Homo-oligomer: A and B are copies of this chain.
Amino acid sequence: MTAPTTDILAIGNAIVDVIAHAEDDFLVAESIHKGAMNLIDEPRADHLYAAMGPATIISGGSAANTAVGAAMLGARTRFIGKVKTDETGRIFTHDIRAVGVAFDTAPATDGPATARSFIFVTPDGERTMNTYLGACQNLTSADIDEATVAACGITYLEGYLWDPPAAKEAFVKAATVAHAAGRRVALTLSDSFCVDRYRAEFLGLMRRRLVDIVFANESELHALYQTADFATAVAAFQADDVLGVCTRSEKGSIVVTRGGVLEAKAFPIERIADTTGAGDLFAAGFLTGLARGESHKACAMLGAMAAAEIIQHVGARPETNLKDMATQAGLF
């Protein structure tokens, strides 16, 4: 096995976020499930945009956010995802390349527009997403180049890829190729409703050893094992024998292995402005730590730091120099 030439390959939906503040009443009136990622079609996207207040437009996408965070922390990073050759696609492409992430998936020249997620941030800082997948539905296994995947130390996949039908084949191909090359494969469960939609498949990926590392937050872990008891969920996670990472907001995180459960604290913050991207940036820090050969504890601390940065401002792309932040926090 040769040394990887890329540390982290992230594969996910290529999305640009359209973010506005909203009151809880608005979510109720529009029948939007608060805190979730709600999938929407084009007419619904047009309706929500028309009803939305003045918006800030910032590139997003779960795995893409992770790729950006990892690149900003110094990891050699690549992203695979599908945009269209439209203005929104150019914005996505510009922003991810601007931080040094390699991104050269061929854009779609026709078909639906580049994906947009209409995100409402309520006064409590919670984000509620309404995603029009658009061009993401054109990601297929043809977009997964075997030599490229084989050269990446960790292939990181988002659970949301199970939504666009052709993308799951791309997902399985990437994981298979990565393992054949002796590399590691990581999965984020993405969202508790996503877990509800694909529980059996996600558990199958873990139990067939197609993924080695699994990221979840508490509600996703509860959904995965269909239990309201956290200790029960953690025990089940441990029995599934992956490197399991569960984020717990202000309670920090736990790292679950066959050998035991390790706890790590949350990183101190001044305020919560917008929780969009918290899990994505935690994964960015954790995976960067793994790529650097750090201990699981150090990986979790780096994840907590990156998550703390992202929730203190609007948008899921870091505004702070994460390397400097890690140095100041004594993590690098």
Q: Give the interface of A toward B (CB within 8 A).
A: 20-21, 49-50, 52-59, 68, 86-88, 91, 94-96, 98-99, 314-315, 317, 319
Secondary structure dominating the interface of A: mixed
Q: Contact: B57 with A98, CB < 8 Å?
A: no
Q: Determine which residue in A52, A94, A315 has the highest number of CB atoms from chain B within 10 A of its CB, and name it.
A: A94
What are some 17 contacts across the A-B interface (CB < 8 A)? A49-B94, A52-B94, A52-B98, A54-B68, A54-B95, A54-B96, A54-B98, A54-B99, A54-B317, A55-B91, A55-B94, A56-B56, A56-B58, A56-B315, A57-B58, A57-B91, A314-B319
Say whether A53 contacts B99, CB under 8 Å: yes
Question: Smallest distance from the beta carbon of A45 to chain B beta carbons, Å?
Answer: 12
Cβ-neighbour of A86 out of B56, B87, B317, B319 (below 8 A): B87
Report whether A95 and B55 are in contact in the complex, using a CB–CB cutoff of 8 Å. Answer: yes
B residues less than 8 Å from A99 (CB atoms): 53-54
State in angstroms the CA–CA spacing of A91 and B54 once bound together: 9
Give the distance to chain B from A319, nearest Cβ to Cβ, in Å.
7
**A2 vs chain B, min Cβ distance (A):** 32
Q: Specify which of A55, A96, A314, A315 lies most central, judged by the most chain B CB atoms within 10 Å of its CB.
A: A55
Give Cα A99–Cα B55 distance, bound, in whole angstroms: 11
Residue of B with least CB distance to A319: B21
- A98 near B53 with CB under 8 A, answer yes
